[in-house]
Structure 1
Amino acid sequence: MEGKAQASSNMYAADLSSIKAAQDRISSHAHKTPVLSSETLDSLSGRKLYSKCGAFKFRGACNAVFSLTDDEAARGVITHSSGNHAAALSLAAKLRGIPAHIVIPKNAPKCKVENVVRYGGQVIWSEATMQSREDVAAKVLKDTGAVLIHPYNDGRIIRASVLKETACSGQGTRSLELLEQIPQIDTIIVPISGGGLISGVALAPKSINPSVRVLAAEPKGADDAAQSTKAGTIITLPEAKTIADGLRASLGSFTWPAVRDLVDDIIVVEDREIIEAMRLCYGVLKVAVERSVLLRCYRRVSGIIPVGMAAIMWGL
């Protein structure tokens, strides 16, 4: 079964050329991440599976920070985030020697706040609502003049020409790297939340080989992408209820076109399946992972993808 149509360079928040430029830009800062395999997982799925592991948020943040002009960089950067993008932007800003203002909700995991501080980010607290996060970020933005680096979707502060070179392009370097490591891959399965990772990941292989299938994986308690795809327009849930805290964000307007046009199917799973998959991953691959929804796909792929080689991407 072939995947959806080839990516058009003018329709989305990134394209193959901007992803390749991002790969060059971050190569001296971001490590290549490994691809793992397991005969046990191959047997469970009835397919040859590869797991592309490691965090990805630093790629987008690093690309965004090092895309800024000197004048922009001198003003510093700002974001609002409860997770890994906050830490990633703090580290990227530290590498460039500029300040990072990080708005974090009061209910953010302690370990993630500690990472922000460790990397030199300045923590500004907000209430645990998206509206509060945005309001506090807007005030800090006004006070500091810093440049907003959204994790996946912002066309108001970063001009469109720069947006193509920032987070989405940075995340897309992951699939370019995968294609270099496993060039014969048939299917790529990616977790979906705001859409930044899967947009970038889908754009590169779809531009190179449109027959590659791209599947999204999403928790049932935060399945706005699946609902949006069925409705043909962005559906925003009033509240995301899932243990996968890194997958609670809603689709963005800049990432939605790529999700709509290039993602071949969306797999929705229950939280109990996520927990089971985490245990399986630790027991078989001997790696500890965040509560990432796509791991359950090891046992789902037999009925979803044709016989061949599939890569499952994880890490937030």
Structure 2
Amino acid sequence: MPGRSAATGVFTYGAAAGLAADLIIGDPRRGHPVAAFGRAAGSVEKLLRRDHRGWGALHTAVCAGGATALAALAARTVRDRPGAAAALTAASVWAVVGGTTLGREARAIGGALAAGDLEVARERMPHLVGRDPQSLDGPAMARAVVESVAENTSDAVVGALVWGAVAGVPGLVGFRAVNTLDAMVGHKSPAYRRFGWASARLDDVAGWPGARLTAALATVAGGDPKGAAKAWRQDAAKHPSPNAGPVEASFAGALGVRLGGTLTYGGRVEHRPVLNGEGRAVEVGDIERAVRLSRRVTALTLAVCVGGRIVAGAMKRRKA
């Protein structure tokens, strides 16, 4: 079994290679592992679906637990071979992060908005956000994209890397499985209010550390650290999501814009509090600024995760 320093090297090289693969290749149009998991989870849902929290918890345990167990088995088979372990880590990081696709979709919508083609922008909106595009004008779409870039930086990148640093390949896969289940059944529609409760709550727990790290790094890497810290401190708790609040508030402060307000999901209207009320309204150019901030946060996350593993290993050696 490799020592702690070797394990840190496996994570470092594997995570860096996986992020590079995501940057160069992005998500495949067909055969994506996360999509395959989603189809499998959908099949399990058909068997277990009841309007009951207990059945929803069983669905979460079977799907997320099964994916994590398979990842642990795969990691166990290569644990004595650092090269193979690093390759498995790289493949897992590439599979579970989605920073490149996030930026690509955001920029595509931004380009359509800049060209004044609202219909094209509305057609692409479902690739990135869950709200009803037909109810949005140009400024509202720009705001929605910036909010999605902020939230998905945590969900699609930072959270996965954090759990990868903590628990290796099982942490990477387990986090993405939980996050995917939340997207599938965790919303508060009448059909899923009970069945999706367990997935939603587990996602809140799993996403907690990544969201706080995302907010902290956005504060450091943004153009206005004081404004980001102030928005995070004053406005994060106003958001209905315990994890999206810190992330969106810090991005709003870092970019100097206002986020939040009225939005529509599946015909359901929500009036969310304004985040960073001292900022200006979101403009189309802020989409590119948000994407660049997201990339800086990604790079810093890798450095923090690797540094954290090095420090943790040093502390364990001192105690030994």
**Shared fold (TM-score, shorter chain, > 0.5):** no
TM range (shorter): 0.3 to 0.5
TM-score after normalising by structure 2: 0.32
Give the structure with the larger helix fraction.
2
Decide which structure has the larger Cα Rg and report it.
2
TM-score after normalising by structure 1: 0.33
Structure scoring higher RCO (CA < 8 A, sep ≥ 6) equals 1
